[in-house]
Amino acid sequence: MTQEREPLLQNGGAGNAATAKGSPALLPSLARSVLKFLMWAVFLTWAAGIFLYPTKPVQAAFKEWAAVSKNSIFGITGTVFVAFSAPILIVAALAYVYIFAFPRDHVEKKKLRSLSFRLWTFPVLVDGPFGVVSAVEFIGIVLFIVYVVFSMTYYVVESMSLVSNSHLPPTIRSELILATVGARFGSVGMFCMTFLFLPVSRGSVLLRLIDIPFEHATRYHVWLGHLTMALFTLHGLCYVITWFLEGRLIEEIIQWKEIGVANLAGVISLVAGLLMWVTSLHPVRKRFFELFFYTHQLYVVFIVFLALHVGDFVFSFAAGAVFLFMLDRFLRFWQSRAKVDIVSAACRPCGTVELVFSKPASLRYSALSFIFVQVRELSFLQWHPFSVSSSPMDGRYHMSILIKVLGTWTDKLKSIITDVEENKTRSDSDQSHTGRITASIEGPYGHESPYHLMYENLILVAGGIGISPFLAILSDIIHRIERGMPCAPKKVLVLWSVKKSTELSLLSAVDAQNISSSVSEKLHLDIQAFVTQESDPPLEDGIVEGEQKAPGIFVKNGEAMSGLVGTGDNFWAAMYFAASTLGAVLAYALVQLYYVKRFNVYAWWHLGLLLLLCMAAGVALPGGLVVLLWHLSEKRRVQDDRWDTDTSTAKDGAEDEQTTNGAAGEDAASAASVATLRTTRYGCRPKFQAEFMAFAERAGGAAADVGVLVCGPPGLQTSVARECRSQNLRRGGGKSGAVFHFNSHSFDL
């Protein structure tokens, strides 16, 4: 019988057996500490090397090392790669070992009091160009600004001193300074590009290691993208001005050197980068999202022509991060090609579309997860992120999302579903309508740690369809309390703002609709709904609660969704990383021995292209073989699981029947619906200061840790973050004194 992997949290956990007598086992604790130390040591050494690279001592040490190793198989390219790309790959390798050996399968209450966790959840900035910024994020922003200012200042001062000592005419001296500064802008931009590709790898083990979900990491990619493209633009602009002053602008732009940088390749790369940059600006992206999306596919042109522009050894400064991105992109491509069965596709009365996908029982995800969805009838390229609205406890074989109809893509999706429903009603047939919706899935992605299960006191603030992930959280908490699984929340306050009262029927999507008296004794749930555009309850207010979703359609044209990306199998993911990395190194060694040295290849652009091709070959060939084996193993596990479905279903049915019969006399009469716990206010918005302070008083005042999760438009996130900051700054002088931990989610909008 197939062994099912529990989703993120285990019941009690065998790993806690050693702690039953008071202290954890010494050896696992020591191994965990050693791995953490090694990862921090490698990362900090690497970061320090990048920061101090402009200085003379580091430059001298690097030149000595390059002189010693230039006659090796890999030459100076290998030296640069080992110094600036290999460290991040070493950290990734250690991260796979760490995650595999020490899975986060328990609720870490002690983490709430740690300084690092509080820095992550304390909002320092709530207004401005960066949006809501935590203390750790603010420190990161400052460090990057300091790095850029320090590097460029050092380079400019050094260039000025060198040129001023030379006996050159003033005009030539100015042009030389401008060209030198332009080159320095490019080198600093290359280092920033290293960090640019790290957060954009959706299933990156590095993001999982530090528990940053992709929805948060995209913000860092945006910030770094602005910084990197600004540096590259200044790099190109300095050279353009220099060439114009020298009177050979066109000649230099179209030049493609064998020795040295290929100018035309750099121009093509910069143009592609500028197109991505301009279309990613908020006003353009908001009004012309499809233009932004399609233009962003030019990243392939940007990377390839950048490698052709700078050659192999300069590209090696950022090759490690690009390689991690290629690993993630290939795995996502493999996963996204599969067609996923849609268990149900239906339109709810409030205008929201609900999609329920088939998934294997072994798929791991948390209630804070999200997935990317593609519907091929609408677009072959567009992928849209949606929060998962079902808990891992809701069902072994399905996962659901709620989609608010807001734009062209969602409107067409709703039209497809309603057309099929109307045809089905007219034909009076219960047959499946196959092939009308062809869906593919990427993910699930999300937090490694289940933050919603770590707080005894939890506030969920939602705006409109932002309630979707919180439906999964509520269902998850209720199910866990019912089954006696680890679950910290005892008091939960939901503050939900909607425009129209028809949206309130979304509460019916909570799988655990009825809360038994045993759950009510352990969980105090308060749902406060605010209808902002209606001053009085509608006449059909009592009817809205009873509304159910329209009869849905069933689409079977594929299989259960794959778990290759996101929170996939850690062992196979590590094997994929190892095989791809070793394959790329071996491919580059063979190319150097039997092609470069044999045929005396010396052109920089040619060597840069070969390095990029070897990286791609390592991912596609040995890495692709491991992914194929991983895929076959997953299919076999799914088949074995289906083979056991009848037996397990019969067993679960018997247990459910026994539980129902036993509870019928005791809990049936006292069971309460989630919807009945809702208090609705019309014509107003929530007053966060009063609500937060009152909740903190009920939670225990100064001794309380309150987790605040918000999902909604930027204005809502800003308001909640501002209040969390005010409450924390008011500690000791105000009434509550509780510690508020802020966390935001930004999808489904």
Q: Mean pLDDT over residues 294-320, rounded?
A: 93
Burial of 623 (0-12, 13-18, 19+ CB in 10 A): buried
Q: What is the pTM of this model?
A: 0.86
Given phi > 0 = left and psi -120 to 50 = alpha, else beta, which region is 332? alpha
**Highest mean predicted confidence (pLDDT) among 7-16, 274-283, 683-692:** 274-283
Bigger pLDDT: 77 vs 519: 77
Bridge-based pairing of strands 705-711 and 457-463 is parallel
**Percent of the chain topping pLDDT 70:** 82
Q: What is the pLDDT of residue 590?
A: 95
Report whether 54 contacts 155 (CB < 8 A): yes
Element (H, E) at 106: none
Residue 205: pLDDT band (50, 70, 90) is confident
Spatial separation of the C-alpha atoms in residues 272 and 266, rounded to whole Å: 10
Give 206's Cβ-side CA count (13 Å radius). Answer: 22
Q: Mean pLDDT over residues 395-399, rounded?
A: 81
Residue 20: Cβ within 10 Å count: 7
Spatial separation of the C-alpha atoms in residues 279 and 494, rounded to whole Å: 37
Backbone angles phi, psi at 548, to 5 degrees: -120, 165
Q: What is the pLDDT of residue 566?
A: 60
First to last CA, the chain: 42
Report whether 389 contacts 401 (CB < 8 A): yes
Looking at residue 132, what DSSP letter applies?
Answer: S
Q: What is the pLDDT of residue 433?
A: 45
Residue 13: pLDDT band (50, 70, 90) is very low
Residues 6+ apart with CB under 8 A from 348: 354, 402, 505, 506, 509, 547, 549, 550
- Can you tell me which residue has the tokens 């509520």? 474
Element (H, E) at 552: none
User: Which residue, 604, 596, 616, 85, is CA-closest to 310?
Assistant: 604
Report whether 2 contacts 644 (CB < 8 A): yes
Question: Tokens for 59?
Answer: 């430059």
Q: What is the pLDDT of residue 282?
A: 86
> 441-489 pLDDT, tens per residue?
888 887 777 788 888 888 899 888 888 888 888 888 888 888 888 888 8
Give 224's Cβ-side CA count (13 Å radius). Answer: 23
> 102-119 pLDDT, tens per residue?
876 555 566 777 777 788
Question: Tokens for 627?
Answer: 């992914």
Bigger pLDDT: 65 vs 168: 65
Looking at residue 113, what DSSP letter applies?
Answer: G
Residue 4: pLDDT band (50, 70, 90) is very low
Question: Tokens for 473?
Answer: 């959280």
Report whether 465 contacts 404 (CB < 8 A): yes
